[in-house]
Amino acid sequence: MIKAAIGIDIGGTNTAFGIVDGSGKVISEDSIERKDYGSAADFVKKLSSGINKLISKSAEELDIIGLGIGAPNGNYYKGTIEFAPNLPWKGEIKFADMFRQYFDLPVILTNDAKAAAIGEMIYGAAKGMRDFILITLGTGLGSGFVANGELIYGNDGFAGELGHVIAVRGGRLCGCGRKGCLEQYASATGIVKTVIEMLAQSNEKSELRDIAEDSITSKKIFEAAKAGDKLALDAFDYTAKILGMSLADAVAITSPEAIILFGGLALSGDLILKPTKMYMEENLLDVYKNKVKLLLSSIAGSNAAILGASALAWKSAISK
């Protein structure tokens, strides 16, 4: 019999789930496509039956210690998903409670970035760290702040919105209705906006000019930058500058041992890591200089989100 946790990553296009052992090995996994979501109750029923199938098919007998869920707009305290713009369910959905009808297990729900932070703490680059920041650079910018060995949920469960600190006063309009939010610059979407601006404002030759504007992706910018395209490299530099300055401010608040980059844009590796580190150091208060590690996620990969979610269950079991 081996101890294991269930991890569920609820996403706008796909929901992945799996069984994970204590070392961070995904024993088995499966997923549900968006078109099959149905009502929230249907969805939880389908997911639960999918999870039970994985459990019953397991070669070894499993001692499941809990169920962790990472979800957009997930509220840790209430176990709810609240007004998530990219999910089909309106209002406040009591997801954790709905799962408890199918499983007599601890159910822990939080947002995806916080789940990733716990994932790094349990299995990844933040193992043994008591103070660090996890940044997800995907469509938006999410974050999880860990201090004194505990994730900061804040008074309402919604702490860690580093993507919505104002990086550029009066800057780009954000989906939140305000201007200049960090995620409008430092994210997969942000670097695309930067490239489109640069293409319009300069005459610099670039292979990105040959792509229709709405087909430019962060991956194509990455490919161009790797091939030495100057405009693409400039876009990475600008992204890193805005991110580095904001990270320097974040360091002044929680003074972390490390900042870990996770998600789409972090897959660009040194192209994003090196300039971000340089700009962060340039902007740090003296007392923090050369102290804060900037690292790439070590649980990145196709099932990183399942790992992150499952880690919620392990973390909860440890804390008891």
Of 255, 274, 281, 298, the one binding its own copies (CB under 8 A) is: 255
End-to-end CA distance of the chain: 22
Of 150, 197, 213, 270, the one binding its own copies (CB under 8 A) is: 150
Minimum CB separation of residue 287 from its own copies in Å reads 5
- Number of other CB atoms surrounding residue 178 within 10 Å: 12
Stretch of residues binding its own copies (CB under 8 A), selected from 26-34, 105-113, 116-124, 161-169 = 161-169
Sheet holding 107-110, edge to edge: 26-33, 14-21, 2-10, 62-70, 107-110
Torsion of CA 87, 88, 91, 96, to 10 degrees: -70
Distance CA 229, CA 216 (A): 14
155 is a site residue for its own copies (CB under 8 A): yes
84 is a site residue for its own copies (CB under 8 A): no
158 is a site residue for its own copies (CB under 8 A): yes
Minimum CB separation of residue 145 from its own copies in Å reads 6
Angle of CA points 54, 57, 59, to nearest 5°: 120
Sheet holding 293-296, edge to edge: 150-151, 141-147, 132-137, 258-262, 293-296
Minimum CB separation of residue 151 from its own copies in Å reads 8
123 is a site residue for its own copies (CB under 8 A): no
Of 30, 97, 131, 281, the one binding its own copies (CB under 8 A) is: 131
**Site residues for its own copies per CB under 8 A:** 130-131, 145, 147-148, 150, 152-162, 164-166, 169, 176-178, 245, 248-250, 252-257, 283, 285-288, 291-292
